[in-house]
Amino acid sequence: MKKVSKVILWMFIAISILLMACNKQEKNALDNSKAINLSEENATEMFQRMYGMLNLKKQRVTLSDNTIIIEFFFDKNATESEIDSARSFTLMTFVLEKSSPYGSIPYMSLVDPALKKLSWENTICNIYKNDKKVYHEKYKGMKLEVSKKY
């Protein structure tokens, strides 16, 4: 009986360590207590419809320490075109701060000069496919500082 108890204890310890290791991921932007969640509820549907991101599950925008962070979460069927569309949207909207002359776009209130109340110096775009990060880009002002494809 003692051997069984020891084996179970060691299995429990090993599983606990494994779960903690698996749980160790990069800090989420919302983990920062100073982060402001700017996510728009209807933006996911707009991205799907207007930008062809049919496999987009969700998205999130936060502002933290002079940095705006946009994250796109795609399912496993996302195409390179959808991912490129997300990267392009980030560049045009949050880096170059271009609003659309054709009507409302997601997060237009953050970049339209008539509506804009917030400002930021840095822009980070993280793109996930099937819950794994596939792109990380960071801009300082209009200059691309980091571009990583995983």
CATH number where 75 lies: 3.30.300
pLDDT given at position 23: 43
**Higher-confidence residue: 149 or 34?**
149
Q: What pLDDT score does 79 carry?
A: 97
Higher-confidence position of 16 and 136: 136
- Compute the distance between CA of residue 56 and CA of residue 73 in angstroms, rounded to an integer: 6
Residue 77 domain boundaries: 28-149
- Is 5 a member of any domain? no
CB 122 within 8 A of CB 137: no
Q: What span, in angstroms and rounded, lies between the C-alpha atoms of 52 and 64? A: 28
Is the model more confident about 2 or about 118? 118
State the residue for tokens 């903690």.
20
Lowest mean pLDDT, pick from 27-41, 83-97, 100-114, 119-133? 27-41
Is residue 4 one of the residues assigned to a domain?
A: no
Residue 23 falls within a domain, yes or no? Answer: no
What is the count of structural domains for the chain? 1
